[in-house]
Homo-oligomer: A and B are copies of this chain.
Amino acid sequence: MNLIHANIETMFNPETVAVIGASDNPSKLGFHVMKSLVNGGFPGKIIPVNPGSHKIWGLKAYRSINDYTARIDLAIVVIPAKLVPGVFTECAEKGVKGIVLITAGFKEIDDPAGATLHKKIADIVDAAGVAVIGPNTFGMINFHANLNASFTPEFSLLKKGKIALVSQSGGISHLLGFLAMRADARFSKIIGLGNRLNVDFAEIIDYLMDDSDTNVIMLYMEGIDHPNRFIKEVKKHKNQKPVIIYKTGNSEKSDQAAKSHTGSLAGKHEIYQGAFKQAGIIISENAESLLDTAKAFGSSEIPQGPGVAILSGQAGPALAACDVCEACGLKIVSFEQCTQQRINEYLPPLALRTNPVDMGPAWYNAPAQSAIIRAAMNDSNVNAILLLIMFASANANLLTDLSKFLTKFKQSKPIISCILAPPGIWDDDIRRLEESGALVNYPTPEQAAKTMAALWEYNKRNKVTGQVDRLKTENC
């Protein structure tokens, strides 16, 4: 087990990668794997292996990995299933540390020959301690090593970040990756577990908890063979890094489908939910919410209590956020007297001046909005801020001015925002605000509020005290 752990570490940070089944033919997956590695800018050595070619993607190709005399750390295998045992034996003998096995057709197929073959290749790598991601996977990506070991070169369009995605479905990994490109969520690793020959959720959790590039782990799960082993592993690392899960296979039809897809029954929804909660895992109910929550954990402070201040440029979005907050365990707290006085200086009686605050009358006025944000941030009843601003033609310059304040103003309480404008208008400002760590932004007030609730839920359950440098209450 320790050997597997060490070899997982090496396979994510290899110096030399062999592509067994590499190809120059775009109709082959071996072509797309080469494209991912080469165009993804992998800085190490790439060894295409294919008995039929001398050169692939402009690189010297080898008949077998044995023809390459130096060390190989990672092999990406994309050849017919029946050839896999022979190649696995070669890899084990050569001392390859890890294999990404893209090929499908093992225990997930109806034919019992699939299960036999599965067992056979498992025995080979287990004996040698070789870590295998797959079979039946699109691969994996380590963004911090510029290693795109998948058949999807487009994953390299994503930016480096702190979120690790571990998924039992290639389709969901692609979905989340493409959504993340739009939401500007940033990953450390994306890992398609596939049918888990010897690297299951438990092994990958154990590895990622030690991975300094990762500060939050998001999981997509259908069904697993050893749920207890997984839960035990998460519990072992409780309080270390947040783990967020989205699990499907909750209905009769999808449970059956999960069995066919992954070779494991999805199992009773309620039992899983209970076990996840006990282990301190945050549960998401859909792909969007999984990504939303991971994005916040990837870069936000964690609220130290349930008290929220809703500061909004318009009343409607504030009401929408209010409903979600109260339904999800957050509290729309009353402000301290000095905070309320400060807010009353900037807003006329016409507006909602108590929490939730409608900053509408100050919507041209970035200094007033900045002062209101600062006052709420310094209020000891407030643990977190929801900042909601819709663009209007009349407040077009607001965000530029507000950004200057927000990026300089170092807060220790989270700001989750819904700042929205027509495409192209405020995009750069929002990206800069997110990059500065000032806030995390979402396209709707409900998503912003739900995400804040997930942050607090995690803290409540896991008692993360953190290093909260309380601000001096400058405004009182």
Does A248 sit at the interface, judged by CB under 8 A? Answer: yes
Contacts of A447 in B (CB 8 A): 288
Name A251's closest neighbour in chain B (CB-CB). Answer: B326
CA distance A364 to B177 in the complex (A): 21
Does A471 sit at the interface, judged by CB under 8 A? Answer: no
Name A254's closest neighbour in chain B (CB-CB). Answer: B322
List residues of chain A with CB under 8 Å of any chain B CB: 26-27, 29, 32, 35-36, 104-105, 108-111, 138, 151-154, 157, 167-175, 177-179, 181-182, 220, 222, 248-254, 257-258, 260-262, 286-288, 312-320, 322-327, 332, 349-350, 352, 355-356, 358, 364, 388, 390-394, 418, 420-423, 425, 443-447
Task: Pick from B29, B169, B326, B394: contact of A319, CB below 8 A.
Answer: B169
Known A110-B349, A167-B316; further 13 A-B contacts with Cβ < 8 A: A26-B394, A27-B394, A104-B350, A108-B350, A154-B391, A154-B393, A174-B391, A178-B421, A248-B320, A249-B323, A250-B327, A253-B322, A261-B352
B287 touches A445 (CB 8 A): yes
User: With A287-B445, A444-B179 in contact, do A313 and B157 touch (Cβ < 8 Å)?
Assistant: no
Contacts of A175 in B (CB 8 A): 316-317, 390, 418, 420, 444-445
B257 touches A105 (CB 8 A): no
CA distance A317 to B286 in the complex (A): 11
Nearest CB on B from A427, distance (A)? 11
A323 touches B257 (CB 8 A): no
CA distance A323 to B284 in the complex (A): 14
A314 touches B171 (CB 8 A): yes
**Among the interface residues A29, A36, A151, A318, which one has the most CB atoms of the partner chain B within 10 A?**
A318
Task: Pick from B35, B169, B444: contact of A316, CB below 8 A.
Answer: B169
User: With A288-B446, A317-B172, A320-B172 in contact, do A422 and B257 touch (Cβ < 8 Å)?
Assistant: no
A254 touches B167 (CB 8 A): no
Nearest CB on B from A294, distance (A)? 15
CA distance A423 to B173 in the complex (A): 16
CA distance A154 to B395 in the complex (A): 12
B391 touches A178 (CB 8 A): yes
A154 touches B332 (CB 8 A): no
B287 touches A257 (CB 8 A): no
Nearest CB on B from A319, distance (A)? 4
Nearest CB on B from A390, distance (A)? 4
B257 touches A319 (CB 8 A): yes
A392 touches B138 (CB 8 A): yes
A248 touches B314 (CB 8 A): no
User: With A110-B349, A179-B444, A320-B172 in contact, do A332 and B392 touch (Cβ < 8 Å)?
Assistant: no
CA distance A157 to B313 in the complex (A): 22
B332 touches A105 (CB 8 A): no
CA distance A413 to B175 in the complex (A): 26
A254 touches B104 (CB 8 A): no
Nearest CB on B from A31, distance (A)? 8
User: With A248-B320, A358-B261, A420-B178 in contact, do A315 and B169 touch (Cβ < 8 Å)?
Assistant: yes
Nearest CB on B from A249, distance (A)? 6
Contacts of A260 in B (CB 8 A): 315, 352
CA distance A446 to B175 in the complex (A): 11
B444 touches A288 (CB 8 A): yes
Name A253's closest neighbour in chain B (CB-CB). Answer: B332
User: With A251-B323, A391-B174 in contact, do A315 and B257 touch (Cβ < 8 Å)?
Assistant: yes
Task: Pick from B152, B249, B319: contact of A248, CB below 8 A.
Answer: B319
Ordered nearest first, which 4 A-B pairs have the shortest CB separation? A169-B316, A171-B314, A251-B326, A254-B322
CA distance A182 to B422 in the complex (A): 8
CA distance A136 to B316 in the complex (A): 13
Contacts of A420 in B (CB 8 A): 174-175, 178-179
User: With A181-B422, A323-B249 in contact, do A171 and B254 touch (Cβ < 8 Å)?
Assistant: no
